[in-house]
Amino acid sequence: MIALEKRPEPSRLLAMGTPLIAVIVTMIAGGLLFAALGKNPFEAIRTIFWDPLFGEYAFYYRPQLLVKGAPLVLIAIGLSLGFRAGIWNIGAEGQYTMGAICGAGVGLAFYPSESVLIFPAMVIAGALGGWAWAMIPALLKVKFGTNEILVSLMLVYVAEQLLASMSLGLLKNPQGFGFPGSRNIAEWDAATSWIAQDYGMHWGVVAAMIAVIMAYVLLNRHILGFNIRLTGEAPRAARFAGVKPARLILFCLGMSGMLAGLAGLFEVAGPSGQVSIDFNVGYGFTAIIVAFLGRLHPVGILLAGLLMALTYIGGDIAESQMGLPAAAIQVFQGMLLFFLLALDLLTNYRVKFAVKGAA
């Protein structure tokens, strides 16, 4: 008979260790999945996790790690603040899209100016776009007690439709021969977010690093960060300590929306280059996995974001070289979250194998 005994304190060692165990278990389960699809599992795992870093063409793939990792880390840092306090923003995908639309819109309004102010203006517009989109669920929750999970998610679908409308209408490239999609912002010097494209460096990478540091300082050295953690771990105690839940909701949702909006702006002005119908590729949802895999800890999120970026890049390679379906990587990422949540049990509980009746 298996019995669970609650630990007085969550095990610190296991809290750090479970993400690693989850990754290994997912690799095994993923290998079985790939084998079931008729691919050599060892080759698949090597292609996904080894080749982008140390393979023959690694010089090409390594910069991609920054390109794919930056938006994931940036969004996940924002999400982790709310998740810690029990505020569930799962509409980051929508905020990301809105940041891109607003930022690109402001930039394109001044095309083809070469002013140095264009990019900063776009950054501000992108941040505000994401922030405003997240303030909708935040204000509705504060004012009416509406569930922020459902509202933020509904807004993802609204943002998708807006994106389609924008890339077919308002922001469509006037010189694009009628094709949908905006002008290419990445090729416009005053507005591009690239710093050094050959190395995968763009302003989003810089912003992600700053976000990691700021989040670390906030959570460990600032009263606001303490209040966020307190609210998540002991809501009643937080209320007695005078923490205002409404303010926390506005801050956490606003902050995560802003970071998601920034991620969208940096993406549209760099790696993606234009506002188009298929601009959003699910970073906002994958970032949820990143946040949990990183234990909602800034440094953990940084590592988890890089690992997730690796699965994206490795997945692409496996798709082109081995014909592994792109959806298999999505399943792989989903499994990772499953195993992580299941293994969390070990952090909070002791598993005891006791003989029934003895005791």
Q: Which spans of this chain sit near another protein (rule: CB under 8 A)? A: 4-6, 88, 90, 136, 140, 144-147, 149-151, 153-158, 161-162, 164-165, 168-169, 285, 288-289, 292, 325-335, 337-338, 341-342, 344-345, 348-349
Find the shortest distance in angstroms from Cβ 146 to another protein: 4
Structure tokens at 33: 């999945």
Q: How far is it, in rounded angstroms, from Cα 48 to Cα 314?
A: 4
Least distance CB 335 / another protein (angstroms): 7
The answer to whether 340 touches 293, Cβ cutoff 8 Å, is yes
In whole angstroms, the minimum distance from the beta carbon of 232 to another protein comes to 11
Residue 129 or 204 having the CB closest to another protein: 129
Nearer to another protein, 68 or 141 (CB): 141
- Least CB distance to another protein at residue 226 (A): 22
Q: Least CB distance from residue 157 to another protein, whole Å?
A: 5
- Residue for token pair 């009628």: 178
**Smallest distance, Å, CB 334 to another protein?**
3
d(CA 280, CA 272) in angstroms, rounded, equals: 9
Whole-number Å distance between alpha carbons of 188 and 191: 6
**Residues 298 and 216 sit within 8 Å (Cβ to Cβ):** yes
* Buried-exposed string 224-236: b where 16+ CB fall within 10 A, e elsewhere: ebbbbbbbbeeee
CB atoms under 10 Å from CB of 358, counted, come to 6
Nearest to 307 by CA among 282, 278, 337, 327: 337
State in angstroms the smallest separation of the CB of 348 from another protein. 7
For 35-92, the DSSP string reads HHTTS-HHHHHHHHHTHHHHSTTHHHHHHHHHHHHHHHHHHHHHHHHHHHTT-----H
Name the minimum Å distance from CB 294 to another protein: 13
Q: Which residue lies nearer to another protein by CB, 1 or 342?
A: 342
Distance from C-alpha of 219 to C-alpha of 82, rounded to nearest angstrom: 12
Total residue length of the chain: 359
Residue with smaller CB distance to another protein, 4 or 117:
4
Verify cis geometry, omega within 30 degrees of 0, for the bond prior to 112.
yes
Nearer to another protein, 207 or 304 (CB): 304
Amino acid at residue number 339: F
No. of helices (H) and no. of strands (E), the chain: 14, 4
Residue among 158 and 306 whose Cβ is closer to another protein: 158
